[in-house]
Amino acid sequence: MKTVLLLIPLTTLAASDLLEKMEKYSLNAAQRNNACYELRASKQKEVLAAMRRALSDPELRACAAKNLRAAGAVDLFREALNDELPEVRAVAVLELGGFARPEDLPALDAATGDPQLLVATNAVYALGTYSGKESVRYLVGAARRGGLTGEQALRRLAQRDEPEALSVAREWLPGNEVTARLAAISVIGQMGDRSDLATLRKIQMKEISELSNQGRGFGLMPTFTLSRAAKTAIQNIESRHPAQSESR
């Protein structure tokens, strides 16, 4: 015999009592969160407003975000994108990504440029949660802006096997930033073809030459890393695209 659990809507009085407990700072975090979780089924206006306020409370933020998500409170997350607290903005972009609504893509794209890295990287992650092609141009834009978020966007494009990832990686390869070049080499090794081998071999040989002339001091570690990355990328490409003479 199966046990059936019924979700009984909270009365206004019961909800008010739980809200009072949730916002009572004399209670400990566990007690306040217990009250918060008991409000999960409620879509009452005053409850949703309290959950929006609770996004600013470190002790209640996770519970409040879950409750707002369960209530489908998209507009409140959209409003939270402009919150003064970066932690709130960071939660808002993740939750909006979970809803995956095309109309939120421009706002998520703007958030990739947030001065707070947590918000920006969460925004790139949120863009990557869209399963369709509609988010690709935004991920490409974020990648081309470079930096840590750009590398994150490039990796996401490569994970999705989007051809734009290879184009961006080839653009990055001649740059000066070691981490960006490493990311580019990795993507080219994953997605490139034999037309990329000459460039990769130049990188490999240039670094080998420098190491041979100067030794492997601490300051040359980035050079050594680039050389090894290029060698690995070459091997990956050659294993996928063997030369005609080798494949006969």
Instruction: Give the residue extent of every domain in the chain.
Output: 59-131
Rounded-to-integer distance, Cα 79 and Cα 92, Å: 9
Res 185: pLDDT? 97
Q: Which helix (H) or strand (E) holds 120?
A: helix 117-128
Res 223: pLDDT? 59
Q: Is the pLDDT of residue 235 over 90?
A: yes
Three-state DSSP string of 202-215: HHHHHHHHHHHHHC
Q: Are 175 and 189 in contact (CB under 8 A)?
A: no
When pLDDT is averaged across residues 136-152 and rounded to a whole number, the result is 96
Phi/psi region, residue 130 (left: phi>0; alpha: psi -120 to 50; beta: rest), is: beta
Buried b (16+ CB within 10 A) or exposed e, 105-134: bebbbebbebeeeebbbbbbbbbbebeeee
Q: Is the pLDDT of residue 59 over 90?
A: yes
Res 75: pLDDT? 97
CA dihedral over 214, 216, 222, 225, signed as positive or negative = positive
Q: Is the pLDDT of residue 217 over 80?
A: no
Q: Which helix (H) or strand (E) holds 87?
A: helix 86-99
Q: Which residues contact 27 (CB under 8 A, 6 or more apart)?
A: 21
Rounded-to-integer distance, Cα 240 and Cα 191, Å: 10
Q: What is the CA radius of gyration of the chain?
A: 25
Listed range (80-84, 142-146, 190-194, 214-218) with the worst mean pLDDT: 214-218
Listed range (28-42, 64-78, 116-130, 195-209) with the worst mean pLDDT: 195-209
Res 246: pLDDT? 47
Angle at 56 between CA 50 and CA 57, to 5 degrees: 85
Q: Indicate the residue type of 67.
A: N
Across the chain, mean pLDDT equals 89
CA dihedral over 125, 117, 181, 219, signed as positive or negative = negative
Reported as a pLDDT band with limits 50, 70 and 90, residue 12 is: confident
Rounded-to-integer distance, Cα 96 and Cα 104, Å: 7
Distances 165 to 154, 159, 185, 217, 241 between C-alpha atoms, Å: 6, 9, 11, 33, 19
pTM of the model: 0.83
Architecture of the 59-131 domain: Alpha Horseshoe (1.25)
Q: Are 188 and 169 in contact (CB under 8 A)?
A: yes
When pLDDT is averaged across residues 30-34 and rounded to a whole number, the result is 96
